[in-house]
Amino acid sequence: MLEMTREEFEELVAEALDRIPPELTRLMDNVAVFVEDEPDPGDPELLGLYEGTPLTDRGEWYAGVLPDRITIYRGPTLRMCEAREDVVAETEITVVHEIAHHFGIDDERLHALGYG
């Protein structure tokens, strides 16, 4: 398994977030991004997870709720990558994938766009 400290991995996630176009990040609302070492044991290869209400599903009722949560998992990413460059690329894909869920884009469309 490729070695990378949690701090290094968090920096890669931050850099991937910085590469999201500003016109999109301005539209993101009530969402927080976290890095965790491992996903739930029931899905040990999960690279990222979006939990919340996509922007496309929010209505007048949406107020006073906790932020949506995007979690990027370090362990599975490092296990599937052979080089640091692979981790950089996979982290960016995963960040974009989870942010797309925040915007209401489903897995089928993301796979068609190459973010699967």
Mind listing the pLDDT tens digit for each residue in 1-21?
789 999 999 999 999 999 999
Quote the percentage of the chain above a pLDDT of 70: 100
Q: Which of 65, 63, 67, 9 is nearest to 38 (CA)?
A: 9
With helix as H, strand as E and coil as C, how does the chain read? CCCCCHHHHHHHHHHHHHCCCHHHHCCCCCEEEEEECCCCCCCCCCCEEEECCCHHHCCCCCCCCCCEEEEEEHHHHHHHCCCHHHHHHHHHHHHHHHHHHHCCCCHHHHHHCCCC
User: What is the C-alpha to C-alpha distance for residues 98 and 116, in angstroms, rounded to an integer?
Assistant: 10
Across 66-90, average pLDDT: 97
- What letter represents residue 69's amino acid? R
User: What is the C-alpha to C-alpha distance for residues 43 and 66, in angstroms, rounded to an integer?
Assistant: 24
Across 66-76, average pLDDT: 97
The string of pLDDT tens digits covering residues 35-69 is 999 999 999 999 999 999 999 999 889 888 999 99
| Contacting residues for 114 by C-beta, under 8 A, at least 6 apart | none
